Amino acid sequence: MDEAAARSKRLDPADDRPAAALGVAVRLGLFSALAGGRGTAAQLAAVVGADEGALEVLADALVSIGLLEKHAAHYANAEQAAAGRVAAGRPRGLEARLLRAVREGPRPALRAALPRALSRALYRDAQVLGQRLAQSLDLTRSRHLLDVGGGLGGYAAAFCDAWPELSVTVFDLPGVVREGRRLAGPRLEFVSGDFLRDPLPRGCDVVLASDILHGQRAPDAVRLVRLLHEALEPGGLLVLRDVLMERERTAPRWAALFSLTLLATSGSRCYAEDEVRGWLAEAGFVDVREAAVESEPWDPNRVLLAMKG
């Protein structure tokens, strides 16, 4: 095993999510429920009194850190499972939020603008990543790009720089749009709205959807893909950049743990590449393929391209 692979298997001691997942599993009696053999998420949820979908996210994360095993849709205790361990004290912080989400199911989350400091940090990242993404695509014949959920316009600005003839519109929540207009100046057009509730601007032949799919629960994610398809002109290109998990949704490990954070906050999770490809096909996209984009070590996202048939 090389050094990079070895590092990928070690848990970060500063990451509180593995401990939170373990604490929730112990409090639910999940390991004890599996002491007699394997069980599906539905079976385990019925035994421990939990929401099936939320329990599946928890169980997949436990597989990713080696406490459970997954065989098709069935889970089993791993050799190092914590059966018999007792959780001490009242759950706090992430563990408390995660325990509530798994027991009761995800709560409805209001769509709100990110804190300003975080938005600025993401904007700086987007400028770096957006430049590489824009340069990896051939948009010679494209006229108008719509960046859905485009934040302060970091990606949009990068596309403007790479393709000066391209008209670019950023669509995001009103508070984000106000800040984006101040930051970007007149070269970008900003339109405010909620992409699940308000009509998306039409007349675009490229739609960029970066890091917005994993923030939606599955039904809304499916609907969002359809809305992106509707916004495109015939023959238009969708550029979908997001976290894409393996089929079993237990790897990459960081994504399985990130799903715990999403579950405890927005009630969503990361999705498998197969799921996303299926949604794209159902919405009417064709020629779905992965783009080869040079990225940074700290950016694990991948990019799918799809055409509107």
Q: Please state the domain extents for the chain.
A: 3-104, 116-249+269-308
Closest CA to 211 of 236, 177, 244, 185: 244
pLDDT at residue 86 greater than cutoff 70? no
Give me the sign of the Cα torsion angle 277, 156, 132, 216. negative
Q: Could you report the per-residue pLDDT of 131-178, keeping only the tens digit for each?
A: 999 999 999 999 999 999 999 999 999 999 999 999 999 999 999 999
Give the pLDDT band (50/70/90) at residue 88. low
pLDDT at residue 115 greater than cutoff 80? no
What are residue 111's phi and psi, to 5 degrees? -80, 120
- How confident is the model over 176-183, as a mean pLDDT? 91
Instruction: Round to whole Å and give the CA distance between 117 and 151.
Output: 12
Instruction: Round to whole Å and give the CA distance between 126 and 44.
Output: 41
Instruction: Round to whole Å and give the CA distance between 145 and 159.
Output: 9
Q: What is the mean pLDDT of the chain?
A: 90
Side-chain-side CA neighbours of residue 175 (13 Å): 7
The secondary structure element, H or E, covering residue 302 is strand 302-308
Kindly indicate whether the domain formed by 3-104 is annotated with CATH number 3.40.50.2020: no
For residues 69 and 75, the answer to whether their CB atoms sit within 8 Å is yes
Rounded to two decimals, the pTM is 0.90
Give me the sign of the Cα torsion angle 22, 27, 28, 31. positive
Instruction: Round to whole Å and give the CA distance between 101 and 217.
Output: 13
Give the pairing type, strands 204-210 and 144-148.
parallel
Give the pairing type, strands 204-210 and 232-242.
parallel
Nearest 5°: the CA angle 269, 245, 250 is 80
Neighbouring C-beta atoms of residue 73, cutoff 10 Å: 13
Q: Is the peptide bond before 252 cis (omega within 30 degrees of 0)?
A: yes
**Structure token pair of residue 147:** 């960046």
Q: Which residues contact 88 (CB under 8 A, 6 or more apart)?
A: none
pLDDT at residue 304 greater than cutoff 90? yes
Instruction: Round to whole Å and give the CA distance between 241 and 213.
Output: 9
Q: Which residues contact 160 (CB under 8 A, 6 or more apart)?
A: 166, 168, 187, 188
Spelled out in words, what is the top-level CATH class assigned to the domain 116-249+269-308? alpha beta
Helix (H, G, I), strand (E, B) or coil at 219: helix
Q: Could you report the per-residue pLDDT of 277-299, keeping only the tens digit for each?
A: 999 999 999 999 999 998 776 67
Biggest CA pair distance of the chain: 65
